[in-house]
Chain A
Amino acid sequence: MAKIASSFLDISYLDSLSRLQSPIHRLDPRVKVIATALYLISVVSFGKYEITGLIPFFVYPIVLIALGDLPLVYLLKKILIAAPFAFFIGMFNPLIDRAVVMHLGPIGISGGWISFVSIMLRFVLTVGAVLALIASTGFASICMSLEKMGVPNVFAVQLLFLYRYIFVLIDEASRMVRARSLRVFEKRGMGFSVFISMIGQLLLRALDRAQRIHRAMRCRGFDGEIRMTRPLAFCRRDGVFVLGWSALFVLMRLYDIPQWMGERITGLIG
């Protein structure tokens, strides 16, 4: 229970970050969404043994976090929570792909290890960037900007409602868990069958609530389209942001900057 409640507090903390004031927060949400999408595509599109080419991409989340006054430690913890997923995706690579592709002194490093490191790097980069985006923009604004950019209304609204009612659902679930734990003695009643019926119960309650919400929406003239009023103003600053970053991402994607710098430096020394 404590776990559910604390993760709930965590989400609302992420949400409260989006109401900070900073140069990043003041940007049009659309440019942040576009820049982040481009960023994700660039990072993901690298070959599977790429490591050095990925390193410069750290600049984007770092700039967002620094200029946006976002708490670094908190975001790192959030990344860590999702880390096992990436870890299990990559963990078999070193076992399967044993061909040695490079030597670090006497130690031969197999392709599997390199692709594993590459996966973990990409994971940190992508999740970090998306978290920084959410923390500096707010989920609602992201949904809205998606809708403004032509994502079908249905999807945007789905996302919006998902986010709005996560809080209510977690509240409901934690009340249920609390109610059970108060009547559980010596682990009796903690079984799987009880858990299943609780999940079922939660589903039924959610359906009921969905119906009531739909009713409330119909009562206020809902006709399938959500209209938002937040004015979005695209100004020069936004243009500079999106163009600057896009150019940099393309550059970093096409040219291996660390390698180029390394060659220049060794060239100078030689």
Chain B
Amino acid sequence: MSHHIVELKDLHYTYPDGNAALHGVSFRITHGETVAIVGANGAGKSTILLHLNGCLIPETGTVRIGDFPLTRKTLDHVRRTVGMVFQDPDDQLFMPSVYEDVAFGPLNLGLPPEDVAERVTQALTTVGALHLKDRPPYRLSGGEKRSVAIASVLSMSPSILVMDEPTSNLDPKSRRQLIQLLKTFAHTIILATHDLDMVLDLCARTIVLKKGRVEADGSTSDILQNAVLLESCRLEKPFALQACPICSPVPSGNNSILQSKQHAKHNHL
């Protein structure tokens, strides 16, 4: 199944303003994997994502999507293969109604109207947003917008899904629903995120970036338990892996506020 492979080899990128974002990133993601790309702000996550479907074309190094290296000539093919969900759904939902927005991609692929209608219904049903189809996107809630943004990409039936901060600005329930939804997908999924608890739930593999380089690449459970590595990359253990602040308080880190409160209470008594 070579057409679902994403491979980066020694990728460098410097923004026009001179800001060097990537210094030789290499990794290979195979069919059906769910991979998280994590790292501090400015570590290069977004720059990598922009390379995955050709918003940026590699300067040095190569990006391969399936059988094709990413060049200007293969852009169409790559964009058909890779579906990108942006961080701000307002950037992605630009058509007057939800239905038209989800139909935008398939129509551009030149599909006949019946097929477009079927794909739109299918995609909206998958994300549970079929009832929103006639609403204008700007009047939806944050969670609804996110679902529709995902549907607008699913309707193009990509084999690889790339998402930038999919859980940002979602309430806990919507976040949970999104995670459950992503678990049902058979696509290759690449997520850039700070939500390490979601990574723990969803992704078998994690790639840690630090200052434009791959600092670690391996199984999520190993990486997210490696406190030294996380600390050096400005990350923290996900809450699920931290000790419960009430059962077993630790004298440092996140729990200090709770501790000092209890302490204060103790002193007063």
Q: Footprint of B on A, CB under 8 Å? A: 12, 15, 19, 138-140, 160-161, 163-165, 167-168, 209, 212-213, 215-223, 226-230
A-B pair count, CB < 8 Å, reads 74
B84 at the A/B interface (Cβ < 8 Å)? yes
Nearest CB of A to B94, in Å = 6
Contact at A209–B91, with CB atoms within 8 Å?
yes
Contact at A221–B94, with CB atoms within 8 Å?
no
Contact of A227 with B107 at beta-carbon distance under 8 Å, contacts A168-B138, A213-B91, A213-B94 already known = yes
Nearest CB of A to B153, in Å = 7
B91 proximity list for chain A (CB < 8 A): 209, 212-213, 215-216
B220 at the A/B interface (Cβ < 8 Å)? no
Chain B residue at minimal CB-CB distance from A212: B91
Contact at A229–B156, with CB atoms within 8 Å?
no
A265–B79 alpha-carbon span in the complex (Å) = 74
A164–B95 alpha-carbon span in the complex (Å) = 7
A140 proximity list for chain B (CB < 8 A): 96-97
B73 at the A/B interface (Cβ < 8 Å)? no
- Choice from A15, A220, A223, A228 contacting B152 with Cβ under 8 Å: A220
A230–B96 alpha-carbon span in the complex (Å) = 11
B166 at the A/B interface (Cβ < 8 Å)? no
B109 proximity list for chain A (CB < 8 A): 221
The secondary-structure label for the interface of chain B is helix
Segment of B98-106, B175-183, B195-203 engaged in the interface with chain A: B98-106
10 contacts between A and B (CB under 8 A): A167-B138, A168-B90, A168-B138, A209-B90, A217-B104, A219-B79, A221-B79, A221-B80, A222-B108, A226-B104
Contact at A220–B108, with CB atoms within 8 Å?
yes
A212–B152 alpha-carbon span in the complex (Å) = 16
A216 proximity list for chain B (CB < 8 A): 84, 86, 91-92, 94
Chain A residue at minimal CB-CB distance from B86: A216
Contact of A229 with B99 at beta-carbon distance under 8 Å, contacts A161-B94, A216-B86, A219-B79 already known = yes
A211–B95 alpha-carbon span in the complex (Å) = 16
B152 proximity list for chain A (CB < 8 A): 220
Nearest CB of B to A140, in Å = 3
B138 proximity list for chain A (CB < 8 A): 164, 167-168
A138–B136 alpha-carbon span in the complex (Å) = 11
Nearest CB of B to A156, in Å = 12
Chain A residue at minimal CB-CB distance from B116: A229
B76 proximity list for chain A (CB < 8 A): 221
Contact at A228–B100, with CB atoms within 8 Å?
yes
A160–B105 alpha-carbon span in the complex (Å) = 17
Contact at A15–B105, with CB atoms within 8 Å?
no
A138 proximity list for chain B (CB < 8 A): 96
- Choice from A12, A165, A218, A230 contacting B55 with Cβ under 8 Å: A218
A117–B184 alpha-carbon span in the complex (Å) = 68
